Amino acid sequence: MAKYMFVLFLMLSGIISCGPKNFYNSEIDGKKIPVSNEYTADTEIEDFIAPYRDHINNDLDSTLAWAPVTFDKSKGKWQTNIGNLMADVTFEKADKIFYMREKKHVDVCLLNHGGIRATIPQGKVTTRTAYEIMPFENSLIIMALKGEQIHDIATYMAIGKKPHPVAGMEIVLDNNNSVKEVTVKGKPVDNNKIYYVATSDYLSNGGDNMMFFKKATAQYDMDYKLRNLYIDYFKETDTLPVNNTERIIIQ
């Protein structure tokens, strides 16, 4: 009898331990593996990527325009040649589109110094140049600001003491960096007038502490990436203009 019991016991334990659900997680090992050059590139994938890479490189490196000088954001206390270029180009392009769509003209363009991410070296200007100076996906937006906020822009510039790219307006400061005079397109600012300011969507949301944009009475999304704006400009331009006009003037 004991013998049969033992056999039955073996059979039962066999059934239990061989059941499909009888595995349990006893141990976990976890680690990070750096993907270094000790792993050779998979040739099938490498060959697949190659034509895409070649196309992009050819496109990025083909010459669109010519830079007669190096455009450098580190040279200049109140304005830089690259800042002037970007503000002027953005102003010009934004004004065209804005007039086409809304029958209104852009009055001011304001970008930020921190948003210029590279220099444009003297020599050929390519699509890659546009990616380097503008790696972000920021797009063009037009903000409707009252004259009061145009004065706020001037105060912001005077306090921040950074050469933020600006076009369409002139700010005159005295020797103590106090705002003496603000003009837009050569005329004194009217506090009750609405001014149309072209900027990036990033700044329009108060980026870089540009809180005056939060007081906008209207905004117009141009659905146009700034990088594409520069690429389009480079394509239609032979030699980049060098404009050193002062936009912030110390008297």
Partner 1 sequence: MKRRDFIQKTAAGSALVLGGLSLSSFTDTPENAKRITILHTNDTHSHIDPLAADDPKNPNMGGAARRATLVEAIRRENPNTLLLDAGDIFQGTPYFNYYGGELEFRVMSMMKYDLATLGNHDFDNGVNGFYKQLPHAKFDFVSANYDFKNSILDGIIKPYKIFTVDGIKIGIFGLGIQLEGLVDPKLYKEVLYNDPIGIAQDMSRILKEDEHCDLVLCLSHLGFAYDNEDKVSDLALASATKNIDLIIGGHTHTFLSKPYIAKNLDGNDVLVNQVGCYGINLGQIDFYFEKGKKTAQGRTINVG
Q: Which residues form the interface with partner 1 (CB under 8 A)?
A: 10, 13, 17, 20-37, 39-46, 48-49, 52-53, 55-56, 59-60, 131, 137, 201
For residues 144 and 108, what is the distance between their CA atoms, to the nearest angstrom? 10
**Shortest gap between Cβ of 200 and partner 1 (angstroms)?**
13
For residues 215 and 218, what is the distance between their CA atoms, to the nearest angstrom? 9
Residues 73/113, Cβ–Cβ less than 8 Å: yes
For residues 163 and 140, what is the distance between their CA atoms, to the nearest angstrom? 20
**Shortest gap between Cβ of 59 and partner 1 (angstroms)?**
7
Residues 113/163, Cβ–Cβ less than 8 Å: yes
Q: Which is nearer to partner 1, 2 or 33 (CB)?
A: 33
**Shortest gap between Cβ of 227 and partner 1 (angstroms)?**
8
HSE of 159 in the Cβ direction (CA atoms, 13 Å)?
Answer: 8
**Shortest gap between Cβ of 206 and partner 1 (angstroms)?**
12
Q: Which is nearer to partner 1, 84 or 204 (CB)?
A: 204
Q: Which is nearer to partner 1, 51 or 188 (CB)?
A: 51
Q: Which is nearer to partner 1, 46 or 190 (CB)?
A: 46
Q: Which is nearer to partner 1, 55 or 185 (CB)?
A: 55
Q: Report strand pairing: 194-200 vs 123-126.
A: unpaired
Beta strands in 43-178 (DSSP E): 63-67, 108-110, 123-126, 139-146, 166-167, 169-173
**Shortest gap between Cβ of 192 and partner 1 (angstroms)?**
32
User: Chain centroid to CA 103: how far?
Assistant: 27
Q: Which is nearer to partner 1, 29 or 236 (CB)?
A: 29
**Shortest gap between Cβ of 171 and partner 1 (angstroms)?**
31
Residues 220/47, Cβ–Cβ less than 8 Å: no
Residues 6 or more apart whose CB falls under 8 angstroms from that of 61 comprise 126, 127, 128
